Amino acid sequence: MTPLLKNLKKGDAIGIIAPASPVTDEEISPAVRIIEDEGYRVIKGNHLYDKKGYLAGTDLERLADLHDMFLNNDVKAVLCARGGYGTTRLLNNIDYGLIREHPKPLAGYSDITALLLSIYNMTGMYVWHGPMLRGITGRKRYLKTLLKQMSADGSMNIRLLKGNVLKEGHAKGRLMGGNLSMICALIGTPYLPSFEGSIFFIEERGEPLYRIDRMLTQLSLSGALKGVKGIISGNFQDCGEPDSIDALLLETFSYEAPVYRGFPAGHGNKNRPLPIGAKAEMDTESLIFRVDAFIDKV
C-alpha cells in the first residue's frame, strides 16, 4: 500500500537536511529566503552545516537528521541542501519503517537519487526528483514549482516539443529514474526498484560519452531496463554532443518504446520537478506528458 502524502499549506514547516556533501549557510540562504517568501517556515537539521571531509558530517549525524525530520510532526516536507556524495553510505541503516509510518514529501536529485529510489523501493512512498537549495540562483522558478506541486495534488500536464521526439509512441506507467550514475550504483543492491512497466527518466552531468555508453550498457546487461515502456532523457550537462547522446539512447532502447530527449530536468539551469513513483503517461502524437494526482488535499 502506498503511503499517503498530504499537501503543504502556507505556514507549514519544511525541513532542510544535507545527506551527502557539506554546505554553508551562505550557499543555501537565497533558497531559504524563497521558501520563506512563499509562506513556509524552515526547520534546519541539527547537523546541516557539519563537515567531515567531503561529507556533511558523519554517517550517523546525517542519518539522524533524516530520521529527525520524518519523526518531527511539525515538519510537513523535507528538502535536501545539495548532492555531491554520501547518500549510498546511509542506505543500510535507514529506518524505512519510520519513514513509511510518517510519510511526507521529500525532494532532491544528483547523489540524492540513491536516497529517493531506496525510500520509494522500501516504503512505496512517492518522492520528488527536483531542486535542492545550493546554487539556486537562476533556477528559482523550479523551486517555486516544486513547492506549488507539493501544495496541490501533484498532477502535471506538460507540453512536449515535437523536435525533441526521437522515437514516436505512447506509454503509460510509473515514472521512475533519476541520475544515471546513481541508478547504476544501486545495481546489485536491495534498494534499486523495478523499472518494468515504467516511464524511465535519466539525466547526468560531467560524464564523457564512453562512460554514458558504459552505464547504459550496464543497465541493459543487468536486466534493469526489461519492460521499460517509455524513455525521457533530461539534461546531460557537459557530457558531449547531444546528437551522440541521442544515438546512444536509440541504440539502448531499440525495442518498441517512445523516446523523448531534452526534458528540462536534472543538472543545469532547468530542473523541473518530477514525482518518482507516480502514474504517468507520455504521448508523442498529442505531445503530452501527464502525471496523475497523488497527493491528498486536506
Written as nine digits, the cell of 297 is: 488535499
- Position 213 scores a pLDDT of 97
Please tell me which residue in 110, 118, 198, 233 is annotated as part of the active site. 110
Please tell me which residue in 47, 118, 198, 267 is annotated as part of the active site. 267
Please tell me which residue in 47, 203, 204, 281 is annotated as part of the active site. 203
Q: Is 110 a catalytic residue?
A: yes
The burial class, CB within 10 Å (0-12 / 13-18 / 19+), for 157 is exposed
Per-residue pLDDT tens digits of the chain, which is 298 residues long = 789 999 999 999 999 999 999 999 999 999 999 999 999 999 999 999 999 999 999 999 999 999 999 999 999 999 999 999 999 999 999 999 999 999 999 999 999 999 999 999 999 999 999 999 999 988 899 999 999 999 999 999 999 999 999 999 999 999 999 999 999 999 999 999 999 999 999 999 999 999 999 999 999 999 999 999 999 999 999 999 999 999 999 999 988 899 999 999 999 899 999 999 999 999 999 999 999 999 997 6
Residue 90 near residue 62, CB atoms below 8 Å: yes
Q: Which domains does the chain have, with CATH numbers?
A: 5-151 (3.40.50.10740), 156-296 (3.50.30.60)
Residue 175 near residue 277, CB atoms below 8 Å: yes
Element containing residue 84 per DSSP (H, E): none
The burial class, CB within 10 Å (0-12 / 13-18 / 19+), for 221 is exposed
- Position 251 scores a pLDDT of 95
Compute the chain's Rg from CA coordinates: 18
Q: Quick check: helix, strand or coil at residue 149?
A: helix
Length of the chain: 298
Measuring CA to CA, which residue among 96, 92, 98, 119 is closest to residue 107? 119
- Position 138 scores a pLDDT of 80
- Position 254 scores a pLDDT of 87
Q: CA distances (Å), 72 to each of 66, 123, 133, 187, in order?
A: 10, 18, 21, 32
Q: Do the bridges between strand 198-205 and strand 230-237 make them parallel or antiparallel, or are there none, so unpaired?
A: parallel
- Position 108 scores a pLDDT of 98
Q: How far is 145 from 193, CA to CA, in rounded Å?
A: 26
Q: Do the bridges between strand 165-167 and strand 259-260 make them parallel or antiparallel, or are there none, so unpaired?
A: antiparallel
- Position 22 scores a pLDDT of 98
Written as nine digits, the cell of 281 is: 503517461
Q: Is 61 a catalytic residue?
A: no
